[in-house]
Structure 1
Amino acid sequence: MALGSVGVFCGSSFGIDPVFADAARLTGTTLGERGIDLVYGGGHAGLMGVVADAAMEAGGRVVGVIPRQLEDRELAHRGLTELHVVDSMHERKQLMADLSDAFVALPGGAGTLEEVAEQWTWAQLTIHQKPSGFLDVGGFWTPMRDMLATMVASGFVRQEQSGIVSFAESIEDLLAMLEAPSAWTDKWGQPILPG
């Protein structure tokens, strides 16, 4: 499927390795140049600000979704194409899911992991039919890939469900995986149908 929009989850800090910001910048630039809307958490700090600024500099549309509590702390990015201010983190994730065709996790902390894991879960439960991907910058998400293998080996995730999430070291490769027709089943073993 052609991606019209991608939800990106990432850190509100930069991390200690400049490679993280480089990857966020390249992700934003790639989305902008390809005409894929960036949907993200609406902040200006850390990797969030880097990916948003890069997408806009490349001519892309950037849609931010931020909870009022964080906007009030002056964390909102004021230069976006659109900024939605919502009342809770739950509303933020729901709106981001509604606005996105697929999801990408850049390096980040607990919030990043929680956000992408929720979208993965929603796909597994057929709440939506949208894939998620981990951009494995410098091996950052390799433990997550190993954890998925353990979940499958331990019988908590069906092998045919594991395709809901992809791992790649380059944003181009990851986008290609996300655009590929779905080849996974839901939690109960039923094929995910397009649409």
Structure 2
Amino acid sequence: MPQNRRLTVLSGPSGVGKSTVVAELRRSHPEVWLSVSVTTRKPRPGETHGVEYFFADDAEFDRMVAAGELLEWAEFAGNRYGTPRAAVMEKLASGVPALLEIDLQGARQVRCSMAEALLVFLAPPSWEELERRLRGRGTEPPDVIARRLDVGRIEMAAEKEFDLTLVNTSVKDVCHRLIALMRRSSS
């Protein structure tokens, strides 16, 4: 009989390194299942439906929301993103360690619908470091960075809503601690 596992949610402000941590976690622990989100955003070059995202139009996304098929969903930069509920429940029921990398709004929705989920806040070593990381990307104009920093202040203030905080000083250290938490939450 497979062992039921607890859903782990990783969230934190933009620029804290969530994607980098998740990429390292998947590389070093391929047994961890990472949910693939549904989005109304158009595919970028090189993205494949069902790999990076499930791409849906607005009508299909509306249908999924109305039918309760999404565990959580949020709007960001004019597009909507959500987590398919059935896939998460299937993985948890079969004992597969499941991870969601989502924003604060989504984490709050998961908390309401799955109180047993483990919510982990990924924090920067300091506000200055977060700002340095966002500006250092060099991929966004100053007004977008300013908006991300404003949202980041709000997200940082929500840290106390999470079960625990991991400070991203080392991606490998965060991955080790996250895996240890996921293993402990399944026993």
| Coarse TM-score class (shorter-chain normalised) | 0.3 to 0.5
Question: TM (normalized to structure 2)?
Answer: 0.43
Higher relative contact order (CA 8 A, sep 6+): 2
Question: TM (normalized to structure 1)?
Answer: 0.41
